[in-house]
Amino acid sequence: MGLLPLDQEHDRSLITEWRKQPGHLGFRCSFSGEGVRERLDDGSLDWIWADAEAAGVAMTTVAPGWFGDIGRIAERFPGLHLTLDHLGGLGGSTKLKDAAAMTYIPEVLALAKFPNIGIKLTGAPGYAGDAYPFPAMQGFVRQLFDAFGPDRVFWGSDISKMPCSWRQCVTMFTEELPWLSEHDKKRVMGDALCDWWGWSRI
């Protein structure tokens, strides 16, 4: 997912040619840049969402505080695959833990009604105040899974910011969530994301 700053001007061909760049499936953007609020409100970013939808270019974002805007984009451009990163939160840049870090979860759960919004569970251990297997976070993972389902929930590590090993980032999901069926586990651990982003493994 290449970076696309929303506070800069871009040539219209950027999105239509995006997937021709080696390794590029979509773009990651932040809504926090200077002037982005005004550009969202006046519609001057609409061409990006429209062209991405038409070209099959997926979008990911870190968007705490922007959930209403994400919902409006999803509603207006239903063919655009949008993915919230870091369980919808700030990921490794937050110092909050457990429930204090998850106060926004009701807003994220409300976005599950849009079938073109998915969520990455990137960096779940980083929000935990307890030790592996991070039981305090498992409840929030369950809520998100129940709302979005196995085809729109994606594992991710954010390993450089995690308080545990790579293996534990993986086994938190593959060994410590007994309610996750083998089929759903395969979806969450990679199959669903490949389908969502159009990522061919051949």
pLDDT tens digits, residue range 98-154? 999 999 999 999 999 999 999 999 999 999 999 999 999 999 999 999 999 999 999
Q: Report the C-alpha gap between 9 and 36 in whole angstroms.
A: 11
- The neighbouring-strand residues paired with 26 are 58
Domains and CATH numbers, the chain: 2-197 (3.20.20.140)
Residue 64: which pLDDT band, with cuts at 50, 70 and 90?
Answer: confident
pTM of this prediction exceeds 0.85 = yes
Rounded-to-integer distance, Cα 100 and Cα 30, Å:
23
What confidence category does residue 94 fall into, taking pLDDT thresholds of 50, 70 and 90?
confident
pLDDT tens by residue, 146-186 = 999 999 999 999 999 999 999 999 999 999 999 999 999 99
Neighbours of 137 (CB within 10 A): 24
